Amino acid sequence: MSDTAVAQPPETKKDPSRQMSEAARATSDLIVSPDVYAHMEQLDTAFARLRAEDPVAWCEPEAFRPFWAVTKHADIMEVSRQNKLFTNGEREMLSYETAEERVYAQTGGPHLLKTLVQLDDPMHYKLRHLTQDWFMPHKVKTREEAIRTIAKEFVDRMEDMGGECDFQQDVALHYPLRVIMQILGVPVEDEPMMLKLTQEIFGAQDPDLMRDKSLSEEGADADKGLSSIQETLAQFFMYFTNITQDRRANPKDDVSTVIANGTVDGEPIGQLEAMSYYIIVAAAGHDTTSASTGGGVLGMLNNPAQLKKMMDDPKGMSRTAVDEAIRWTTPVKHFMRTAQEDYELRGRKILKGESLLLCYPSGNRDEDVFDDPFEFRVDRSPNKIISFGHGGHMCLGMHLARLEMQAIYEELFSRVKSIELAGEPSFIRANFVGGPKSIPVRYKF
């Protein structure tokens, strides 16, 4: 045995007097299971029980380090807005304990990348500031015409398909990809590769989306899982290293040019920071919006009265319908924070060093905030969605996502004469980002 110590994830301190409640014992394995996220009713039931019986619940699920599950809207906000006290750097998302150990052993820390969601201030703020302006409403607005043109192309494509398609696979999946790739300045011919790579990162737990299908089998090798993700990242790196060189030589009006030429404290940003930046914008900008675009359409197809309201007045209804789609689908299922000090939350004593799981789908069904939270209503207003998070890490692309979705809902529902489900929809198995995988539809234009 070598005497060189291998870096390990921090042990979560355990208070020996702390026990999981009955509600936590019944639900903690469910709320981390990728499979359960493909069956939202099961998840909704688990979260409803936690909100009612143990809203800040100590959970020790099999195969994961323990955490506090934060399931009430107000508590998710309270944690999210205190970015110094509750940080991202140590553990920003759920990962199997074995996978965390392997990343530590390889990198000496918790991450393979340095994306915005893995960083804390001051570095987080400085990097975010580089592209922030690009995603503010005034700047997003300047791209509205281009976005509406893309929305029209996709609805034209749907019309050309005759009267049946898979709305998720044929429309919702590709439309936001085209928008974000245009903003990054990635050419159309490279989109299929980008789609595959972003899905391998975000849908990494779904056997249909993962790079190495054998990883979905029981007892799959965690080392193999890590090297599969690393292969995906290596491909991203190769691609964006070329983009960086190009944009340094030939600056353009795109986000890649901002990243490639970005400086922090007067120095160019490092290679890992730049690569991580491209990856977070490419990946976060696509699957999330695809999921909520499809999820909202599915919400309407399952509620004919809501569909009718939308079809009767697509322009008047699109703003509220989009936020309801994003609440209903909640594409990002969680982020995590780590407490830097002891803290009392809803009467529970969180200890310094412990992590908290911010359960966005639960916050979005919180009975204290939403009337009839389990009803899908295209005209819901007010609608205090927690889907984009809150505080210093609040989604950078939320104005873009809303505009994109408004554009395609207006285009689709002002043209389609009838639309209905033509088969059983299915959902992505992933506990981080997910939504519909397939929505078979029949329609007339």
Shortest Å distance, C-beta 115 to ligand HEM? 7
Which tokens hold the place of 376?
């899908």
Whole-angstrom distance, CA of residue 52 vs CA of residue 44: 12
Is residue 198 at the binding interface for ligand HEM, with CB under 6 A as the rule?
no
Which residue, 23 or 282, has its beta carbon nearer to ligand HEM?
A: 282
Which residue, 154 or 443, has its beta carbon nearer to ligand HEM?
A: 154
Shortest Å distance, C-beta 210 to ligand HEM? 22
- The single residue among 33, 168, 276, 292 that binds ligand HEM, judged by CB under 6 A, is 292
Residue spans of alpha helices (H) in 217-302? 222-249, 255-260, 271-284, 287-301
Shortest Å distance, C-beta 142 to ligand HEM? 15
- The single residue among 39, 126, 128, 157 that binds ligand HEM, judged by CB under 6 A, is 128
Contact between 99 and 226 (Cβ < 8 Å):
yes
Contact between 259 and 241 (Cβ < 8 Å):
no
Shortest Å distance, C-beta 286 to ligand HEM? 7
- x/- map, 350-389, ligand HEM, by CB under 6 A: -------------------------------------xxx
Is residue 259 at the binding interface for ligand HEM, with CB under 6 A as the rule?
no
Is residue 299 at the binding interface for ligand HEM, with CB under 6 A as the rule?
no
**Stretch of 24-32, 240-248, 329-337, 434-442 contacting ligand HEM, by CB under 6 A:** 329-337
Which tokens hold the place of 432?
């981080």
Which tokens hold the place of 364?
């979005």
- The single residue among 326, 359, 412, 439 that binds ligand HEM, judged by CB under 6 A, is 326
**Helix, coil or strand: residue 300:** helix
Q: What type of residue sits at position 293?
A: T
Is residue 282 at the binding interface for ligand HEM, with CB under 6 A as the rule?
no
Instruction: Say which residue the tokens 């078979």 belong to.
Output: 440
Q: Dihedral through CA 225, CA 226, CA 232, CA 236, nearest 10? A: 160
Which tokens hold the place of 64?
């994961």
Strand partners, 444: 418
Which residue, 24 or 284, has its beta carbon nearer to ligand HEM?
A: 284
Is residue 397 at the binding interface for ligand HEM, with CB under 6 A as the rule?
yes
Q: What are phi and psi of 337, to 5 degrees?
A: -135, 160
Shortest Å distance, C-beta 327 to ligand HEM? 10
Contact between 39 and 9 (Cβ < 8 Å):
no
- The single residue among 280, 307, 350, 359 that binds ligand HEM, judged by CB under 6 A, is 280
CB atoms within 10 A of CB 250: 8
Ramachandran class of 69: left when φ > 0, alpha when ψ lies in -120 to 50, beta otherwise: beta
Which tokens hold the place of 139?
């700047």
Is residue 409 at the binding interface for ligand HEM, with CB under 6 A as the rule?
no
Is residue 335 at the binding interface for ligand HEM, with CB under 6 A as the rule?
yes
**Helix, coil or strand: residue 59:** strand
Shortest Å distance, C-beta 360 to ligand HEM? 6
- x/- map, 133-152, ligand HEM, by CB under 6 A: --x-----------------
Which tokens hold the place of 147?
């976005």
Which residue, 163 or 391, has its beta carbon nearer to ligand HEM?
A: 391
Beta carbons within 8 Å of 164's beta carbon, 6+ residues apart: 422, 440, 441, 442, 443
Whole-angstrom distance, CA of residue 106 vs CA of residue 111: 10
Instruction: Say which residue the tokens 């506090």 belong to.
Output: 68
**Stretch of 24-32, 61-69, 344-352, 397-405 contacting ligand HEM, by CB under 6 A:** 397-405
Shortest Å distance, C-beta 295 to ligand HEM? 9
Angle between helix 287-301 and 398-415 (nearest 10): 40
Shortest Å distance, C-beta 289 to ligand HEM? 4
**Helix, coil or strand: residue 442:** strand
348-350 and 56-59 strand pairing: unpaired
Is residue 394 at the binding interface for ligand HEM, with CB under 6 A as the rule?
yes
Nearest CA to 150 out of 378, 419, 412, 445 is that of 412
Is residue 333 at the binding interface for ligand HEM, with CB under 6 A as the rule?
no
Contact set for ligand HEM, span 91-120 (CB under 6 A)? 116-117
- x/- map, 42-81, ligand HEM, by CB under 6 A: --------------------------------------x-
Is residue 407 at the binding interface for ligand HEM, with CB under 6 A as the rule?
no
**Residues found near ligand HEM in the complex (CB under 6 A):** 80, 116-117, 128, 135, 180, 280-281, 284-285, 288-289, 292, 326, 331-332, 335, 387-391, 393-397, 400-401
